[in-house]
Structure 1
Amino acid sequence: MHGPMIPQPKAQTVTAQRWSPARVAQRRRSWGGWAAGALAVAVAAGGAIALRNAAPVEQTADANLVLLLQQHSQSKVIAALAAVESGTLAMLDGRRSVVSHPVSAGDTLASLAAAYKLDARSIAFSNGLDPQSPLTPSQKLLIPPVDGLVYRVQRRDTLVAVSERHRVPITAIAKATGPGFQDFISPGQLLVIPGDAEALAAFSRAAAEPANALASLAVTGRGVSKAPRSPRGYVWPVRGFVISPYGPRGGRRHMGIDIAGPSGSPVATVRRGTVLFAGWMSGGFGNAVDVRHEDGMVSRYAHLSRILVRPDQILEAGQILGATGCTGRCTGPHLHLELHVGGRAVNPLPFLK
């Protein structure tokens, strides 16, 4: 009588051969290659989808934002996708940039505000309109992605100046502007300044009024400082206080004095003279003016937000030549003043006191 059938060794041998270490390694390489290819396709598709369905980036830590801004565009996409995957950034549905909307018959600021889910004032003030203004068909309106103000960069604007003028941090402007944001802004570029549009528009108007007044004074020749002259015949160029004296500073020699004051404050020439240079000066000076005086001294006024004179123009002592700012290499609005004798910088304070 035969007992129960026992599996043949051959079958066991076949099974052992099928899952031998060599076979396992081969199958792993095969699956690994397929997975890598699929992952590459998924990342590429994900990047394309992320770019196509662009949406506002919110809840961005300043450090993360700075890292993204310092990278090239392709690296930005990869870094952003990685940040979204890790939960560092939250990609939300919606627009990420300014939209140019052609007005159709029947459009009103209220209806557009409802369609774009914005405060009507954000659309009105971004386009220089009164919130009650009727719209004209074929008129094109700039629509911000979030409530706030669409600001068109003006000549000689800096990010620091725009940020200070509207009292909104640069990081907030960067996040609201979206991927079109650039560290180095240029005239005509559009920035989105988030916040209450009416208040932001008021800040812009307030900043423009002193500039218009300065320009008017410069044209009429009435822009002359009433500051008293020092015994040497020099006048203080701007109202403010010295925040950085002449001399050693940070391992280097500070070749002038820094006088702090609100951005846009009028800057006057320290003595009668002729304008040698007026424009953008390299070396971190930004907008600057050089004036040669009757006694042979040359004065330099740097980091100006606006220049109101031209080369070869003759200026009286105390005549306004520009406005304080933070152009070039600086950390806040101030006037950098230098005095040169025979091409050598000297301490301006003894001449001003």
Structure 2
Amino acid sequence: MRGILGALCVFCALPAWAKLPVLSPLPLPEATVEVGGTARKGWVLYTVRPGDTLAGIAARYGVDPRHILWSSGLKDDRLQVGQELRIPLVAVEERKPRIPPGVEVYRVRPGDTLASLSQRFGLSPLELVSANPSLESLDRLVAGSLLYIPKKTKGLLVALPEGETLVDLARRFGLSPLEVAKANGLEDPTALRPGDLVLLPGIEAKATYQRLLAKQEAERQARLEAERKRQEELRRLAEERRRREALRQAQLRQAQVQRPQVRRVSYQEGGMRWPLSGFRITTYFGGRGAFQRYHTGIDLAAPYGTPIVAAKSGQVQVAGWSSFGYGFHVVLDHGGGVETLYAHMSRIAVRPGQWVEAGDLIGYVGSTGWSTGPHLHFEVRVNGVPRNPLAYLP
């Protein structure tokens, strides 16, 4: 009844216009959403730009560079342009975590190593690792990150976990709470808050140090393996270059072997002089290819109209046009079955039956007959058989 009366009372309290007959169900009140306070933690997605460094980005956002490494899943501080980083943001605390007296905070500089810092501060690598058990490498320190340097008491430096007290921490490591409080300069151990750093005197992070040593050795072996592969690749490339050079030299030797071997003939045995000056040999005596006929002489390319002289004294046997592709040509008889032929002349300067001496003018370079350009086709025949002219020339 009270619920019904309450409902009626609420209805009576409505204005007159609201007491009209209801023709359709009243709409239900809209659902409400409560928004909590701003999250204390989160990330900023940052795209690496040219010139960015991990230390510079960390300083810009006021975070430890190592936190960016861990949040972004990076193994080292080498960045690439366009790479996306997750930068953890932590709301400003009411106070900074407490650091025990006698512990100095050091910001890592470029070039710092665990070995150099150990030597600088008079600590062993194990003592330095114990004060910084979150280190990920003995060789690579992230520039801009923070290291804790124990100046007095040495030991393990840890953050007080949530829900634990100094007494709990001391008992877990088998230490006297009074001893731990004294090492941390505490008169009231209950004043510690979660996240405050606690120095546990005499405790060494041996397991962490051994893990880092094993990682260091694995990285050293990886570098040695990478260097070995690099040297193997260099040797392979050098061997490939040597092989190509040997193949090139073999091809050159083969080409020299295939070039007709020339036995020089002295002038007394029938030697001759060059019939041209200022020329270059474009085709040699011998075979020229599977689909080309045997070349019975040598071709001497020279400018159109270059004088042609007799290679040796003799009598003009032929001086005229050839029906075999020689064009205007001259044949000299030198006796003993030796003849020379001069083809593709532009003009003939001798007549049949004429006697000429070696060096006498007999015609001019042309491109008559089967010719593709101005040159002299020069042949030497012995008893009607073509011979290599180079064997008779100086």
TM-score range, shorter-chain basis?
A: 0.3 to 0.5
Q: Which has the larger radius of gyration?
A: 2
Greater helix fraction, Structure 1 or Structure 2 = 1
Greater RCO structure (CA 8 Å; 6+ sep): 1
TM-score norm. by structure 2 comes to 0.31
